[in-house]
């Protein structure tokens, strides 16, 4: 199994996704857009994972590599390969599938619950009805045509979606661990503290029970996502 990930900034790494891949002895190689814009050969990957970042998907003038990244994502989707997008990655995925990305009414930063519908699809059925997850986003997206909403929160209606059996987007960060959360906080000192959906920084760390619960569900989700994509056959 060859997994390739896109990382946009040094402080938003794959976190527990890397742990999952290592435990299953999968090849796990990344493109770090903050260092190099060289893209892999799509024929040599079995899963593309798109990580988060502080930039907006429409800032192509400031981050010209976004154009290349979007083209690559579209190519991978056309090939029928599995794609998972997280936070900025979910927005990039939604954009490449025809959704619209725009600033949300409120920022969502910290630990807040997401809610999964009773009839949730595919690997999302493994999640409980409510789960506390870590958030750090200001933008949101419309659902692409053909996509199914699989999670919502009080601050953001579209927290997750699935498109067929090969593309899934998570606006929230289920991959975070204590180290990645601390790095994100350290790099975001200009963010406001407090607010309806913005926790104080001291409230975001020291949550080992939540992190471990998220890690367990992440591993189950990724196993099921790959299993479902493999079983689906060519689109």
Work out the burial of residue 109: count CB atoms within 10 Å of its CB; fewer than 13 is exposed, 13-18 middle, 19 or more buried. buried
Q: Helix or strand or coil: residue 226?
A: helix
Top CATH class, 2-232: alpha beta
Instruction: Clarify whether 8 is annotated catalytic.
Output: no
pLDDT tens column, 93-104: 999 999 999 999
User: Is 175 among the residues known to form the active site?
Assistant: yes
pLDDT recorded at residue 192? 65
Cα 12 from chain centre: 11
* pLDDT bucket at 232, cuts 50 / 70 / 90: low
**Three-state DSSP state, 35:** coil
Exactly one of 87, 96, 135, 156 is catalytic; which is it?
87
Q: Check if 173 is active-site.
A: yes
Report the mean per-residue pLDDT for the chain. 94
For 17, 43, 52, 67, 210, the CA distances from 3, given in Å and listed in that order, are 10, 12, 17, 22, 26
Going by C-alpha positions, the residue among 228, 183, 180 that lies closest to residue 15 is 180
Residue 21's Cα: distance from chain center in Å?
Answer: 16
| Nearest partner of 30 among 51, 47, 5, judged by Cα | 5
CB 152 within 8 A of CB 131: no
Q: Residue 235 has what pLDDT?
A: 36
Q: pTM (2 decimals)?
A: 0.95
How far is the C-alpha of 125 from the C-alpha of 127, rounded, in Å? 5
Q: Structural domain boundaries of the chain?
A: 2-232
Catalytic residue among 4, 8, 137, 173: 173
For residue range 136-194, list pLDDT tens digits in order: 999 999 999 999 999 999 999 999 999 998 999 999 999 999 999 999 999 987 776 76
Q: Which of 12, 69, 108, 175 is catalytic?
A: 175
pLDDT in tens, 48-59: 999 999 999 999
Residue 126 has pLDDT above 80, yes or no: yes
């Amino acid at each position: 199994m060859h997994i390739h990930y896109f990382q946009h900034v040094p402080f938003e790494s794959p976190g527990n996704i890397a742990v999952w891949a290592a435990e299953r002895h999968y090849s796990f190689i990344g493109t770090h857009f903050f260092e190099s814009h060289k893209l892999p050969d799509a024929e040599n990957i079995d899963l593309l994972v798109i990580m988060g970042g502080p930039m907006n998907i429409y800032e192509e003038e400031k981050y010209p590599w976004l154009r290349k990244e979007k083209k690559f994502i579209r190519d991978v989707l056309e090939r029928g390969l599995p794609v998972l997008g997280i936070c900025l990655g979910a927005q990039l995925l939604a954009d490449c599938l025809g959704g619209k990305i725009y600033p949300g009414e409120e920022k969502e930063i910290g630990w807040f619950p997401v809610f999964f519908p009773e009839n949730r699809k595919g690997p999302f059925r493994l999640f409980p009805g409510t789960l506390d997850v870590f958030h750090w986003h200001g933008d949101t997206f419309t659902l692409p045509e053909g996509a199914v909403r699989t999670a919502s929160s009080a601050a953001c209606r579209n927290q997750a979606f699935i498109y067929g059996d090969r593309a899934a987007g998570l606006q929230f960060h289920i991959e975070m661990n204590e180290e990645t959360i601390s790095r994100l906080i350290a790099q975001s000192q200009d963010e406001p503290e407090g607010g309806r959906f913005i926790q104080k920084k001291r409230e975001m760390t020291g949550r080992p029970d939540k992190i471990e619960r998220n890690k367990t569900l992440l591993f189950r989700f990724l196993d099921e996502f790959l299993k479902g994509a493999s079983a689906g056959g060519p689109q």
